[in-house]
Structure 1
Amino acid sequence: MEKEKGSENDSSTGSQIGTEIFEGSVDRTEDADMKSPQVTATPLAEPKTSDVPDGGLVAWLQVLGAFVIMLASWGLINSFGVYQTYYETDLLRSSTSSDISWIGSLQGALLNMGGLVSGPLFDAGHFRALTISGSALVVLGLFMTSLCETYWQVLLAQGVAVGVGCGLLFLPSAAILSQYFARRRALALGLQSSGSPVGGIVFSILFSRLQPRIGFGWATRVLAFILLGLLVVPLVCMRPRVAPPRHKRAFFDRDAIRDVPFMSFAISALPSFMGMYVPFFYLQLFALRRGTASADLAAYLVTLLNAGSVFGRILPNFVADYLGSMNMLAAMTLGAGILAFSWLGVHDLGGTITFAVLFGFFNGGVASLPPSAIVTLTPDLGRLGTRMGMLFAFIGIAVLVGTPIAGAILKDVDDDGAWKGLIVYCATTVFIGGLGFVGTQVLHLRRVRNTKV
Structure 2
Amino acid sequence: MHPQVAGDSTVTAALVRESCKNSDVRSTVIAAPDERADKQTLPDTQTPILTAPLTFLLQICCFGYATSFGVYEDYYTRVYLSNVSSSTISWIGSINAFIMVSMGVFVGRLYDRGYFYQLIYGGALLLSFSLFMLSLAKPGQYYQILLSQGIGVGIGGGLIYLPSISIVSQYFQQNRAIAMTIVAAGSSVGSVVHPVMLNNTLDRLGFATAARANAGLVTGLLLIACPMMRLRFKPSIGGDAWADTWRAARKFSKDPAYIFGTFGVGTFIICYYFPEFYIQLDSQTHGLGSSFSFYALVILNGCSVLGRLSAGLIAQRFGVTWTVALFSFICVACTFGFIGLSSVTSVVVIGVIFGYFAGAYVALLGPFFAALADDVSEIGARLGIAFFFAGVGSLIGGPISGALLTSQNVWWKPAVFSGVVGLFGSGCYLVSAVLQSRSQTAQRKTAGSETKRSAEEKI
TM over 0.5: yes
AA aligned opposite 2:344: L
Question: Equivalent residue of 2:168, what SS?
Answer: helix
CA contact (8 A) 1:23 1:44 kept: no
Q: Which residue of 2 aligns with 1:422?
A: 414
AA aligned opposite 1:202: V
AA aligned opposite 1:157: S
AA aligned opposite 2:215: A
Q: Which residue of 2 aligns with 1:175?
A: 166
Q: 1:23 to 1:316 in 2, by over 3 A?
A: closer
Q: Aligned equivalents of 1:14 and 1:114: distance in 2?
A: 25
> How many residue pairs get matched?
421
CA contact (8 A) 1:309 1:361 kept: yes
RMSD: 2.5
After the TM superposition, which of the residue ranges 303-312 and 227-236 deviates more from structure 2? 227-236
Q: 1:136 to 1:222 in 2, by over 3 A?
A: same
Q: Which residue of 2 aligns with 1:106?
A: 95
Q: 1:182 to 1:275 in 2, by over 3 A?
A: same
CA contact (8 A) 1:16 1:376 kept: no
Determine if the alignment matches structure 1 residue 285 to structure 2 residue 281.
yes
**Under a length normalisation based on structure 1, what TM-score does the superposition of the two structures give?**
0.87
CA contact (8 A) 1:326 1:373 kept: yes
Q: Which residue of 2 aligns with 1:32?
A: none
1:356 CA displacement: 1.2
Q: Aligned equivalents of 2:270 and 2:317: distance in 1?
A: 29
Match for residue 75 of structure 1 among 64, 75, 78:
64
AA aligned opposite 2:304: S
1:180 CA displacement: 2.2
Q: 1:240 to 1:382 in 2, by over 3 A?
A: farther
Determine if the alignment matches structure 1 residue 437 to structure 2 residue 429.
yes
CA contact (8 A) 2:39 2:235 kept: no
Match for residue 404 of structure 1 among 371, 387, 399:
399
AA aligned opposite 2:106: V
1:366 CA displacement: 1.7
AA aligned opposite 1:155: L
**Under a length normalisation based on structure 2, what TM-score does the superposition of the two structures give?**
0.86
Q: Aligned equivalents of 2:360 and 2:272: distance in 1?
A: 11
Q: Which residue of 1 aligns with 2:353?
A: 358
Counterpart mapping for 1:269-418 below 5 A: 269-291=265-287, 293-414=288-409, 418=410
Q: Aligned equivalents of 1:410 and 1:232: distance in 2?
A: 40
Match for residue 245 of structure 2 among 246, 251, 265:
251
Q: Which residue of 1 aligns with 2:8?
A: none
Q: Aligned equivalents of 1:367 and 1:144: distance in 2?
A: 30
Q: Which residue of 2 aligns with 1:138?
A: 127
Q: 1:320 to 1:60 in 2, by over 3 A?
A: farther
Counterpart mapping for 1:67-216 below 5 A: 67-149=56-138, 150-216=141-207
CA contact (8 A) 1:341 1:427 kept: yes
Q: Identify which of structures 1 and 2 has the higher relative contact order when contacts are C-alpha pairs closer than 8 Å and 6+ apart.
A: 2
Q: 1:446 to 1:43 in 2, by over 3 A?
A: closer
Q: 1:95 to 1:44 in 2, by over 3 A?
A: closer
Determine if the alignment matches structure 1 residue 447 to structure 2 residue 439.
yes
Q: Aligned equivalents of 2:424 and 2:45: distance in 1?
A: 40
Q: Aligned equivalents of 2:238 and 2:301: distance in 1?
A: 42
1:247 CA displacement: 4.7
1:346 CA displacement: 2.4
Determine if the alignment matches structure 1 residue 260 to structure 2 residue 256.
yes
Question: Equivalent residue of 1:258, what SS?
Answer: coil
Identity of aligned pairs, percent? Answer: 29
Q: 1:349 to 1:258 in 2, by over 3 A?
A: same
1:57 CA displacement: 6.8
Q: Aligned equivalents of 1:91 and 1:368: distance in 2?
A: 34
Gaps of 5+ in 1: 1-8, 25-40
Deviations 1:168-204 (A, max 9, x none): 0111122222222233222111111111111111111
Q: Aligned equivalents of 1:407 and 1:345: distance in 2?
A: 18
Question: Equivalent residue of 1:251, what SS?
Answer: helix
1:298 CA displacement: 0.5
AA aligned opposite 1:208: N
